[in-house]
Amino acid sequence: MNRFPEYFSQFQNISEFILLGLSYDQNIQAFCFVLFLVCYVALLAGNLLIFVSIRCSPLFHQPMYYFLSHLSLIDICYTSTVTPKFIADLLVERKTISYSNCMLQVFTMHFFGGIEIFVLTAMAFDRYAAICKPLHYVIVMNRTRCNLLVVAAWAGGAVHAFPLFSTAIGLPFCGPNEIDHYFCDIFPLLKVACTDTYVTGILVIAFSGLVALVTFIVLFVSYGIILFTLRNLSAEGRRKALSTCWSHITVVVLFFGPAIFIYLRPPTTFPEDKIFALFYTIIAPMFNPLIYTLRNSEMKNMMRKVWRHTLFSKETHN
């Protein structure tokens, strides 16, 4: 493990990068520190609450909530690859990250981000089966298939991340080491690499931008079919189905919109990228618990039962 930095040092001439962060203004940084610390705590608390509530209740055996528990876990892992360091850096004037940690951040961010994309796709497939194929739903979405979809999501995340990681560690860095971002990502790294990165940028677009775009189109078409099918349901069935579908659609737009804007374009960077990146690294994972529970009475009732039972058990034990 101690040889990790030494192994990668052969590919570059610098040992660390300087992150320029969101702003140079100290007052703005102090405000952002408080704001994003609150956001991160809310993100952790909300997603942990959903994860534990589902795992400790019968809802875990329903495919929709099974996938939702995995999404909450992935949200925690995904945002934790970037957010803690980002928040800590807001308190210091010189924001640095070692070369090895920078490469690790590139891998983990795209790995967990890829998993989130495919879990969202699995959730869309679950809603399609539930609404469009209700008579076959139990057979189509059995636990074995749900497990396979989750395994496929993790494998898909790895397939998505490894080419980008390999691209990053293959870049030579010999000049300026300032990255105009608050975390290490592939496009800002291409900007400071000591080589022609045009072809590499096209490959990055193929592995990131096109994956996000194709997945978004598939999800968009799936939910279009679902919404079209809802016209055949009763008013109550339509209301219940819409409450879950609109939640999923909101999450998909919050996550995919900014990601497509950043990764599906010529390999360059803009100051606005840092603002858009906040949506898929912090804001969307923070709002997921609210989006999935606010209009879901079944989830809210189960959370109350689980935590009421937990508190009652503690009082009885004491």
| Residues facing 97 on adjacent strands | 17
Task: List, in order of start, the domains of the chain with CATH numbers.
Answer: 16-302 (1.20.1070.10)
Q: How far apart are CA 28 and CA 17, in angstroms?
A: 22
Segments of the chain scoring below 70 in pLDDT: 1-13, 236-237, 241, 267-269, 294-296, 306-318
| Residues facing 17 on adjacent strands | 97
Nearest residue to 35 via CA among 92, 93, 90: 90
pTM: 0.85
- In this predicted model, what pLDDT tens digit does every residue of 149-179 receive, in sequence order? 999 999 999 998 998 898 888 888 887 788 8
How many Å separate Cα 137 from the centre of its chain? 28
- In this predicted model, what pLDDT tens digit does every residue of 27-56 receive, in sequence order? 888 999 999 999 999 999 989 988 988 888
